[in-house]
Every structure is written in structure tokens, then in C-alpha cells.
């Protein structure tokens, strides 16, 4: 799926920001894009558009295959955006781990929060870390 970007819980695991193994692969697709139908692994699709889809995409080579994954900062911001789906606790844990493990700077986290339109939600948690 060349248009898919690994996101949320799957990206957290990829960046080693959680020890939790997601039971499904979370991918981001453009609004209106075709959703893959696969039996294994189970896939959970979330939809993005515009800058929220293209911001923070990095391509990695994994076992000879190129995959797109959001940066740690964008992944954390997405977790806050989709906190009703993945849980607020996971979003908070991801933010703490990302900052403590120096996977992203406060500026990178803030920029991602603005792109994902969760700056007001993330602000008090980010302030508590600095």
C-alpha cells in the first residue's frame, strides 16, 4: 500500500515509544482513498487530508521494503487527535516517552500539535514536562 502511512499505535511501536504491541496495523489514508481488505494482519484505517496527511512522513527501509511512518512528534500529536480511539493514557504516555527519550524536541512537538489542531489540548501536558 504505497499511499498508506503507518500511524498511531503502530508508529508508537515502530519508534519504540510504547511496549504495547497493537493487535492491528494502524494506517493513515487520504480522505476517499480505497481501504485495503486484508485478513492478516488486521488493518485499522484512519483518514487524513491536506497537511495532516503529508506532514511528518518519513520513509524507512524495513527488510527490503520501503514503508512510510510518521515522525515521533507527528505520531504523538495524532495520538492526542485520536485519543477517543486509542485512549488518553496512551497519548500521555507517548508524549512523556517521546520527550524523555529525546525522540523529538518541544518545538517539533508543538509544530505537529498545530498541524493536527491539538495545540490547545497538548499545551498543558507539554508545559508540565518542561
Tens digit of pLDDT per residue, the chain (130 long)?
778 999 999 999 999 998 888 788 999 998 877 677 777 788 889 999 889 999 999 999 989 989 999 999 999 999 999 999 999 999 999 999 999 999 999 999 999 999 999 999 999 999 998 7
Given phi > 0 = left and psi -120 to 50 = alpha, else beta, which region is 32? left
pTM of the model: 0.90
Name the residue among 1, 77, 15, 76 with its Cα closest to residue 45. 1
One DSSP character per residue, the chain reads -TT-EE-HHHHHHHTTS-S---SSEEEEEETTPPPP--SSS-EEEEEE-THHHHTTEEEEEETTEEEEEE-HHHHHHHHHHTHHHH-HHHHHHHHHHHHHTTSS-HHHHHHHHHHTT-HHHHHHHHHHH-
Amino acid at each position: 500500500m504505497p499511499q498508506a502511512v503507518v500511524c498511531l499505535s503502530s508508529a508508537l511501536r515502530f519508534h519504540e515509544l510504547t511496549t504495547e504491541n497493537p493487535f492491528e496495523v494502524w494506517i493513515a489514508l487520504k480522505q476517499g482513498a480505497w481501504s485495503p481488505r486484508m485478513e492478516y494482519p488486521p488493518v485499522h484505517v484512519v483518514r487524513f487530508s491536506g497537511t495532516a496527511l503529508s506532514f511528518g512522513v518519513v520513509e524507512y527501509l524495513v527488510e527490503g521494503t520501503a514503508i512510510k511512518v510518521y515522525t515521533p512528534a507527528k505520531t504523538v500529536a495524532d495520538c492526542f487527535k485520536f485519543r477517543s480511539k486509542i485512549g488518553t493514557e496512551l497519548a500521555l504516555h507517548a508524549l512523556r516517552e517521546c520527550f524523555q527519550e529525546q525522540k523529538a524536541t518541544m518545538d517539533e512537538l508543538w509544530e505537529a500539535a498545530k498541524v493536527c489542531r491539538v495545540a490547545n489540548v497538548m499545551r498543558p501536558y507539554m508545559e508540565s514536562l518542561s
